[in-house]
Amino acid sequence: MTAPSLGSEAATRVADQLLRRQVPAPWDVYGELLERYEIHFNGTTREMVRTPVRLEGVGMRVLRPVEGKTGIGFAATSDLSETSIDALVADAEATARFSRFPAARAELPSRGGSSSEVASYDPGAWERPEESLEAYLSVLFDAFDGRVGVGPSFGSVHLIRSEATLVNSSGLHHRESRTEFDREVAVKAEGGPEGRPPGEYWVTDRSVRLDPSHLRQEAAEWCQKAQDVRRATAPSAGPQAVVLPPRVLSDILPAILGFRLSGVADLRGIAPKPGDELASPTVSLWDDGLYPFALGTSGLDDEGSPQVKRELISHGRSAANLYDLLHASAAGRASTGSGLRHSIVFPRFSRFDSAPGPEPTTLVVGTGDLGTDAELAEVAQEGIWVDQLGYAFPDPLSAAFGGEVRLGYRIRGGKIGEPVRGGTVGGVVVGGVGESSLMNTVIGVGRHPVLAPHLSAPTMVVNGLGVGGAESP
């Protein structure tokens, strides 16, 4: 299947100019053309429509031998004039002269590399972006029709379609098309005889596909959770069992494990060694660059290396780390196809203005044997089920996280009970030898995975996470 194209020629034009100017190899040029479509709403009224916001630019990287190491020069621009390209080359070369990366050399992939067929865009949204976004919003509003005392307060839906082209001095020329959809919906519940203040439940999500088929069911759940927020009380304080569903895990694991299991961490001496015990034996983890319709999916990474499925943790023990070309060279290894220009910690609109580095695509947690919510709660026995954190504040360097519980539920005697909110949940994802962590205190894993941004995982039960709540000092 041939991917659709927006007709961008920026990377090819810049690469042709570099060849004419006889710029020394190795170099690569990453061009990107993006279109962003937005609809903002207040209640069920369309407040602002922007279609499209368009941006095109290129990022250029040169690699130069400097004192037995590699000088890395990178510059980016959205101005494709001759004068701007002159400045682009000059800036990249100047940066390379003063850079010292501890890799003797790094060979860029050639035109001989092959890529897999991948599902990286939504065909319907690509062909009809404005109509698809409007149709999605109509279904969303219809899902709240007839509800009394609860409904959307404000929100927005966004769709990005982008075309990325990579050209390098080794003869590689590769094009990739992507779509990215994100939504923000605030659902408010108010009214009723109990006189409590309104409760609001926020929904934020990012995905490749724009799929309205589950909106009616989702809206019913959001309305119930907004009503639960109204009557929620603070959780009890102290270490306890915590149930973490996929969308909560997606705010924690990719940012921290994506760094701690990478060539950057390896270079700093803080990455695990193969065979190190990182997690409970029930936990296996891999990075899948070919996961269908996931945000990180692509045939080649942003350096031109083929995407593959990479095992990172096998039954609790470290198996491998993620490397781009330069960090692989420094470690005496081969690239794992993890040279990417997106950021897990700080998602951006564009990629061309960032140099590649080792990043995960879609982290996948292996499934367990727990099926229903009731089975998961029975394993937890006493604790809380976290439905949503305000923000998990994942710190890749320390591997710590901690955030406010926007909504959760008490678990008593293995049963899910009344709603809680306002406390905090935190800890470390991976720790040192003998140190308790989220990964090594997993006592239960569900069997139904859910794809969330940069993570596919089932619900997990973790024992002994720190909870701050009503009984905190």
Q: How far, in Å, CA of 298 to CA of 178, rounded?
A: 9
Q: Is the dihedral of CA 61, 126, 56, 354 positive or negative?
A: negative
What's the maximum distance between 2 C-alpha atoms anywhere in the chain?
Answer: 77
Q: Classify domain 10-229 at the CATH topology level.
A: PmbA/TldD fold (3.30.2290)
- In the chain, where does the domain assigned CATH 3.30.2290.10 lie? 10-229
What tokens were used for 138? 């109509």
Q: Which helix (H) or strand (E) holds 451?
A: strand 450-452
Q: What is the mean pLDDT of residues 344-369?
A: 94
Using pLDDT thresholds of 50, 70 and 90, give the confidence band for residue 470: confident
- Supply the mean pLDDT for the chain: 93
Phi, psi for residue 158 in degrees, rounded to 5: -130, 145
Q: What percent of the chain has pLDDT over 90?
A: 89
Sheet strands side by side (includes 309-314): 317-318, 309-314, 285-288, 363-365, 455-457, 450-452
The one-letter code for the residue type at 94 is: A
Residue 81 φ/ψ region, left for φ over 0, alpha for ψ in the -120 to 50 degree band, beta for the rest: beta
The answer to whether residue 473 scores a pLDDT higher than 50 is no
Q: What is the pLDDT of residues 205-256, one digit of tens each?
A: 999 999 999 999 999 999 999 999 999 999 999 999 999 999 999 999 999 9
Q: How far, in Å, CA of 462 to CA of 445, rounded?
A: 9
Whole-number pLDDT of residue 193: 61
Q: Give the CA count within 13 Å in the CB-facing half-sphere of 435.
A: 12
Q: What is the mean pLDDT of residues 346-361?
A: 93
Whole-number pLDDT of residue 237: 93
DSSP string, 229-297: HHH-BPPPPSSEEEEE-HHHHTTTHHHHHHHHTBHHHHHHT-SPPTT-B-S-TT--EEEETT-TT-TT-
Q: What is the pTM of this model?
A: 0.94
Whole-number pLDDT of residue 408: 97
Catalogue the E-assigned strands of 390-436: 400-412, 415-420, 424-428
Q: How far, in Å, CA of 32 to CA of 377, rounded?
A: 46
Q: How far, in Å, CA of 323 to CA of 93, rounded?
A: 24
Number of residues in the chain? 473
Between 462 and 114, residue with greater pLDDT: 462
